[in-house]
Amino acid sequence: MSSVIRKARVLLVAYYAYMLEYRAELFLWALSGSLPLILMGVWTKAAQGGQFGLSPLDFIRYFLTVFIIRQFTVVWVIWEFEKEVIEGRLSPRLLQPLDPVWHHVASHLAERFARLPFMLALVVLFFMLYPQAFWVPKLGNFLLFLIAVISAFTLRFLIQYTFAIFAFWTERASAIESFWFLLYLFLSGLIAPLQMFPAPVREVVLWTPFPYLVHFPAALLIGLPVDLVQGFLVILGWGVLFFVLNRWLWRRGLKQYSGMGA
């Protein structure tokens, strides 16, 4: 156990140092996730004129929360992994007594910590500009939100890493992610809260993994109605499915791997 903690600590510290090497890049990445803030403006304006079931203030809080969730759930493992496979840089990692995925997990987690101050600064700035949007969520909701965000990151990482393994066969696995991202964009609640979807569509979408990557945690934090049991069960179901698929593809993929370029 202590050796696992030591490995985790050393990896996190090293990748934290790595992330901090490029301060400007980190800030720009944090800013590049501001699509929800733009959408906030659009929806707030629309809410002032129409009947959406959500008030302009709800929209502001929803999209601010979406912004925060996106900061915590950004995943880029597919581009890194694809490069490693194509350039053969996966080879040395395969020869170390540690599954290569832990390098990616560590770099993602370390990046979250490195990004945190920028993100907090942006949120504080936001509330200074719009003090009327400020609210204090209930403690229970806040804790559920934390669990939901961690679950959302885990699921998104797992799904993208599973796609990434296709790099053993196609060498352009990131194309799968580009297609998937389109679905994610529309069905996750990133562009509009699920409340805006027609009821039959919403019922179907709630069985896919997408709304649990953005809408579900956001709704929890701002207090929109959600089905907690269904929510966590769907996350678990998709998580198990992708985990099994991931390990199966990994074993098949390694037999396919030719260690190109190295």
Partner 1 sequence: MPIIETENLSKVYPVAVKEPGLQGTLLHFLRRTYRSIEAVKQVSFQIQPGEVVGFLGANGAGKTTTLKMLTGLIHPSAGRVRVAEHIPFRRKAAFLQQITLVMGQKQQVIWDLPALDSLKIHAARSGIPDKASGERVGELTEMLSLHGKLNQPVRKLSLGERMKAELMAALLHHPKVLFLDEPTLGLDVNAQVGVREFLREYNKRYGATILLTSHYMADITALCQRVLVIHQGQLIYDGGLDQLLDNFAPYREVQLELAHPMSEAELSLYGEIEAVEGQSVRLCVQREALTRSVAKILAELEVLDLTVTDPPIEEVIGRVFSAGGVS
Contact call for residues 102 and 94 (beta carbons, < 8 A): no
* Between 13 and 116, CB nearer to partner 1: 13
Query: What is the Cα Rg of the chain in Å?
Result: 20
51: amino acid identity, one letter: Q
Q: Which stretch binds partner 1 (CB under 8 A): 23-31, 47-55, 109-117, 254-262?
A: 254-262
Element (H or E) spanning 7, and its range? helix 2-20
Of residues 49, 45, 74, 50, the one with CA closest to residue 60? 45
Q: Is 6 in the site for partner 1 (CB under 8 A)?
A: yes
Q: What is the token pair recorded at 33? A: 């996730």
For 58-90, give the DSSP string: HHHHHHHHHHHHHHHH---HHHHHHHHHHHTTH
Which of 49, 136, 200, 255 forms a contact with partner 1 (CB under 8 A)? 255
What is the spatial distance between Cα 100 and Cα 221, in angstroms, rounded to a whole number? 34
Q: Which stretch binds partner 1 (CB under 8 A): 43-51, 90-98, 189-197, 210-218?
A: 90-98
Q: Is 94 in the site for partner 1 (CB under 8 A)?
A: yes
Q: Which stretch binds partner 1 (CB under 8 A): 94-102, 110-118, 193-201, 235-243?
A: 94-102
Which of 27, 37, 91, 208 forms a contact with partner 1 (CB under 8 A)? 91
29: amino acid identity, one letter: W
What is the spatial distance between Cα 166 and Cα 253, in angstroms, rounded to a whole number? 8
Which of 53, 92, 117, 237 forms a contact with partner 1 (CB under 8 A)? 92
Contact letters for partner 1, residues 10-39 (x by CB under 8 A): xx-xx--xx--xx-----------------
Q: Is 257 in the site for partner 1 (CB under 8 A)?
A: yes
Q: Is 1 in the site for partner 1 (CB under 8 A)?
A: no
Q: Which stretch binds partner 1 (CB under 8 A): 7-15, 150-158, 177-185, 197-205?
A: 7-15
- Residue 255 C-beta: closest distance to partner 1, Å: 5
Q: What residue has token string 């109605």?
A: 225
What is the spatial distance between Cα 137 and Cα 145, in angstroms, rounded to a whole number? 10
Q: What is the token pair recorded at 1? A: 């156990």
**Total residues binding partner 1 (CB under 8 A):** 26
- Residue 91 C-beta: closest distance to partner 1, Å: 5
Of residues 47, 221, 248, 209, the one with CA closest to residue 149? 221
- Residue 257 C-beta: closest distance to partner 1, Å: 6
Positions touching partner 1 (CB under 8 A) are: 3, 6-7, 9-11, 13-14, 17-18, 21-22, 89, 91-92, 94-98, 254-255, 257-259, 262
